[in-house]
Structures are given as structure tokens and as C-alpha cells.
Amino acid sequence: MTYATKTGMSGWLETIQPKVYGNFINGEWTESSGGKTFSIYNSANNKMELASFQDSTEDDVNEAVEAAYKAFKSWSLVPGPDRGAILYRFADLLEKNVDELSFILSAEQGKTLGESKGEIFRAAKEARFCAGEAFRIEGNTLPGERNNVWSSTVRKPLGVIAAIAPWNFPVVTPVRKIAPALAYGCTVVYKPASVTPWTSARLMELLDEAGTPKGVVNLVVGSGSRVGNPLVNHPLVKGISFTGSTALGVQINEIAARRFAKTQLELGGKNPAVVLDYDDVRSVAKQIVGAAFACSGQRCTSISRVIVVKERKEELTEAIISEMKEIKVGAAWEEDVSMGPLVNQQHLKTVLEYLKIGQGEGARLRYGGDVLTNGLYADGAYMVPALLDLVTPEMRVAKEEIFGPVLAIIEVEEKEQAFSVANDVEYGLAASIFTNNLSTAYSFADQVESGMVHINHGTASAAHMPFGGVKQSGFGAFSIGSSNVDFFTEMKVVYFQY
């Protein structure tokens, strides 16, 4: 593996002169009051420094929240269609800059260029949906109890929103929070994950270029404890849209509850694919493998458990293995690569630990799990996707989120057992079922404890459909789609007598 070949990304990497990015507060790029910065490194080659960012302080957070609070007074009065117009321009700019943005995204996060481009186009689509929502913030008008009285409901923007994102989708996750916030008339202070702040800095530049007034969107980079914590505790923050681990989601919800701040929490998953019958085993295996290993399995909606009836287990397992063998692990810029490295060595260690835990509990490593260490591969966290079979429902690998390229096969006797195993976890984000039987499909859709259900379909969501989870997978209004109105606005009831 060398940089000298292949796509434009290798040449681009060679031109990088690590630059220091500021925070983006009140429309200005500013240094942290603490004067400290930290560097980020190429996920595919951890010796290569990419850029530096502010290691911000509570004072920086306060400054950003105050800027957002001040901007809210005017921004919330801008007519919806005018707010939407900025988002349409922003969506166009995302697409116009897709090449450079995808290089940055792949460099900091590790995903393949195809995945990065897909993420950016998806972000543009979601921004356009939100731009349209700004035109249709609906209320109801009901007949009055008396003559000459109109009774209506209207939606008012909530106020300053804290947006906090993880590292797995550093473009679409912030856009999924910022675009609806702007559409509904809110302002934002955004904290990206510490390992992936670079795309966020570019997003600020593009939002600025699209004409977002100063103070409406602010970026403060830094750690969860020094930036995230004061941000969620700030009394002027009215809503917290958080995507990340369940443990942190619970903590944030407790803090928010004390001052009745609203929360929109998108948390972990342990998503099942139930397989009962099929005509074409290869197409089922393809859907499962695609949904399990996209973004190297680092998706909250990754399929991580295959729950299959005994008589299909061996045939399906073989088909899954042959699909997995098609996956080419490598650096984003290598040709034909279909799975990038994990985000960093520390995360790889956690994932490998789960492989050990699983085998210690009696599961069998049926395929993969090797770490690539040749040449430059030693400088990234490259792992061949792994398949565990002989997994039983009470094992830790069947219950806990691994957030990496590990798929567990759980064999069951029949449908009822499959459904109950599917539900026997703390999470409830996305679930798939593969069956030709219509009533089985619908009874699964009815009974599965999951925010999203996919019938004969991997766990891929759409840019206009509500997205979220139940149980320990989410709380508050679903994001994406029209459900965002319930988080980003509050209701007011108006009676009018004439």
C-alpha cells in the first residue's frame, strides 16, 4: 500500500500542511481562551497529522451559548422560507464541495471514499428536506366553544440548541441536528466528537458561505468533560440533541431534567436480523452483510445479530461468509476497497476484546477477525470483519453493543423464539426480518420492540423518514423527517375573539 497511486485522495494527502482551526463563535474564527490546541491524525495512517483544533474551555462554551442566545432573538423572527433558502444554498454547497469534503471525512474517520461521498449526498438531501419543512411549520385551527372565537395552535422555535455528535458520521450527524434547528428558527452550539472535528470546521465555512447570520450556528471543539458537560449544563440551552452512547445519554437526560430542557437522544443499538425463510439465500446474505459492515460496523443501526431458524442456519452462515470474503479491507483511497479501518487503535482493542469475550463464553470465531499489520496497515486499525456462530442469547456478545465489524449468529427453533430473542436486549433501534410470509412479517413489525423495522431489507434509513429508537436506544422526538418539529419547537395555543 502506498500513497503514490490511485485516487486523487492520495495526492491530496501529500499536500496537507497541518493547519490550526479556531472555534466558530458569533461568525468569527476564534482561539480558545485557554490557549491550548490538540492535533488529529489520519485514521488510515496514525503517523500523519492532519490538523489542530482548539482544546476549548467552559469560557468558550459560555461565549458561544451567549452568541447563540443573542442571535436567537432575530433569527427566530426570520420568515421560515428565508431560513429555508439558506439551507437550500448550504445543501448545494455540500454537493459542490463533495470531493474535498469526502477526502477530509475519509482521512479523519477512516471510511471509504464511496461511503464518505454517500454520507455527504445524504446530508445534502436531509438539509433540503429541512429547508422544505421551514415552509410548513403547521398548527391547527379549531372551531371555538363560542361564536366569534377562533382557537389555534402555533409552533414557536425552542431557543438555543446544544448539538453533540459522535465520530462515526461526522458530516450527516451534525447536519441532521443543525439543519432542522435552523429550519424551525432555533440557534445552535455544536460540539463534534474530539476525533473528527475537521469536517465540522468545513461545515461551518459552508454554512457561513450559504448566508447563515452570525451567531446562529457556533462550533466549540474540545473534550466531552470540558466542553460537552458545561454545554449541557448551561441554563440558556433549551434543547440538547445528542447522538452517542446510552450511558452518556442517560447522564445528559438527568442534567436536562433538572431545568426542564428538552432532549433528543439517539443512542446505541444491538440490531437483529431475523431470518425465517427465503427464496434466495444469497440476496438475504448480501443485505445482512451490507448492513452489518458498512462504515466498518461502526453504525448505530448496524445489524449485529442474525437470529436464524435451525434448518436455515448452516446454509445462511455459508452464504454470509462468502459475502464477507468479498469485502476488501484497506485505506479509503485504495482502489476497490469496501471497508476502511476502525476509527483508531483504542476502538480496535475494544472490538478485539469482544471477540475474546465471545469465544470465552463458548461462541466460535467462524470467519475473520484478523488484524492487518503489513506495512502501512500497521499504522491504522485494520481488521477483517468477523463472524461468530454458536452464539446464545445470554452471551455478552449477544447483548452488548460492540460498534465494530462483528456479526453474531444465533440459532433458534422457531418463529416465536426468534421474536423473543430479538426483543431480549436493552436496545431497540432498528430490526430486520427476512421472510416470504406476509402475516409473519406484519406480526414481527407489530411485536418487535424497535424504533425502525425493515421487512426483507437491511437496516438502511431514508432521508425523509423519522429516525430513532425505543428502550435504551433513544428518547425524545425522532430525528430526520417531520418528527423533528416536536423537539425543535414548542406549542402555543391562541384564542382569538372578534
In the complex, which residues of this chain contact ligand NAP (CB under 6 A)? 164-168, 191, 193-194, 223-225, 228-229, 232, 243-245, 248, 266-269, 300, 401, 403, 429, 469, 474
Cα(326)–Cα(306) distance, rounded to whole angstroms? 19
Q: How far is the CB of 4 from ligand NAP (least distance, A)?
A: 33
CA distances from 113 to 10, 29, 47, 107, 207 (A): 11, 28, 20, 9, 23
| Helix, coil or strand: residue 302 | coil
C-alpha cell at 366: 467462524
Q: How far is the CB of 457 from ligand NAP (least distance, A)?
A: 18
Q: Which residues of 38-49 are buried (b: 16+ CB within 10 A; e: fewer)?
A: eebbbbbbeebe
C-beta closer to ligand NAP: residue 328 or 349: 349
C-beta closer to ligand NAP: residue 9 or 231: 231
CA-based nearest residue to 270, from 416, 368, 395, 176? 395
Q: How far is the CB of 192 from ligand NAP (least distance, A)?
A: 6
Q: How far is the CB of 489 from ligand NAP (least distance, A)?
A: 21
Ranked by CB distance to ligand NAP, the top (closest) residue is 224
Residues in the chain: 498
Cα(474)–Cα(242) distance, rounded to whole angstroms? 10
Q: How far is the CB of 292 from ligand NAP (least distance, A)?
A: 14
H or E element that contains 53: strand 45-54
Q: Following DSSP, what letter does each residue of 450-477 receive, concatenated?
A: -SEEEESS-S---TTS-B--EETTEESS
Active site residue 315: no
C-beta closer to ligand NAP: residue 93 or 232: 232
Q: Following DSSP, what letter does each residue of 241-270 receive, concatenated?
A: EEES-HHHHHHHHHHHHHTT-EEEEE----
C-beta closer to ligand NAP: residue 69 or 403: 403
Q: Which of 133, 295, 300, 411 is catalytic?
A: 300
| Helix, coil or strand: residue 28 | strand
Report the half-sphere exposure of 168 (CA within 13 A, side-chain side): 20
C-beta closer to ligand NAP: residue 75 or 403: 403
CA-based nearest residue to 66, from 215, 278, 284? 215
Q: How far is the CB of 305 from ligand NAP (least distance, A)?
A: 14
Q: Which of 66, 108, 119, 266 is catalytic?
A: 266
Cα(48)–Cα(143) distance, rounded to whole angstroms? 66
Q: How far is the CB of 230 from ligand NAP (least distance, A)?
A: 9
Cα(117)–Cα(453) distance, rounded to whole angstroms? 26
CA distances from 383 to 79, 336, 443 (A): 50, 16, 37
Q: How far is the CB of 164 from ligand NAP (least distance, A)?
A: 5
Active site residue 300: yes
∠ CA 255-259-263, nearest 5°, is: 60
CA distances from 159 to 81, 239, 311, 395 (A): 18, 7, 55, 44
Cα(211)–Cα(215) distance, rounded to whole angstroms? 12
Q: How far is the CB of 197 from ligand NAP (least distance, A)?
A: 9
H or E element that contains 305: strand 303-309
Q: How far is the CB of 5 from ligand NAP (least distance, A)?
A: 32
CA-based nearest residue to 286, from 250, 316, 255, 245? 316
CA-based nearest residue to 398, from 432, 426, 369? 426
Q: Which residues contact 378 (CB under 8 A, 6 or more apart)?
A: none
| Helix, coil or strand: residue 20 | strand
Cα(78)–Cα(76) distance, rounded to whole angstroms? 6
Report, as residue numbers or ranges, the catalytic residues. Answer: 266, 300
